[in-house]
Amino acid sequence: MLSVEELKRLVGNEVGVSSWYPVDQARIDAFADVTEDHQFIHIDPEKASQTPFGGTIAHGFLTLSLLSAMALEAQPRVAEARMGINYGFDRVRFLHPVKAGQKVRGRFVLSSVAEAKPGEVDLNWQATVEIDGEKRPALKAAWLNRFYLAESGERQTAC
């Protein structure tokens, strides 16, 4: 865990890289079911084999959603935080498809640390999702997290 002051000193630096996450057909199919996005390019290997991708690809939003797990693993925790939330994205670009069977991982550069108002701190991340064996990343995003800080003596939980 790092204090807000320690995090401020890390602005501009890569602070974490996650492990590799498999993106197999079962994960893609489950995501299609949850989101009700059953486009053939994601769920029909035979039909998708006739496309320029040569097979099924993950939904861009599936790749984006994996950032949460990657961040829990790779980003430092805010020592003073009692709670953290996903505050949104300023920019997201899907740069390269993730083919079924590939692995992805997240890289996180801390772009800024700012006090939103007393007791609230925003961390802005440049997040990149790499694809194992590919030169181009799957996506790049400017991602904002908000942390609500504990008051003196308040019990803290890991965020």
Query: Rounded to an integer, what distance in angstroms lies between the CA atom of residue 47 and that of residue 6?
Result: 51
- Average pLDDT of every residue of the chain: 95
To 10 degrees, the CA torsion angle through 42, 45, 51, 52?
80
Q: How many CB atoms lie within 10 A of CB 151?
A: 8
Q: How many CB atoms lie within 10 A of CB 5?
A: 10
What tens digit of pLDDT does each residue of 81-130 get?
Answer: 999 999 999 999 999 999 999 999 999 999 999 998 999 999 999 999 99
What tens digit of pLDDT does each residue of 14-34 get?
Answer: 999 999 999 999 999 999 999
**Beta strands at 21-23 and 139-149: parallel, antiparallel or unpaired:** unpaired
Query: Rounded to an integer, what distance in angstroms lies between the CA atom of residue 29 and that of residue 99?
Result: 13
The pTM of the full predicted model, rounded to 2 decimals, is: 0.91
Query: Rounded to an integer, what distance in angstroms lies between the CA atom of residue 91 and that of residue 89?
Result: 5
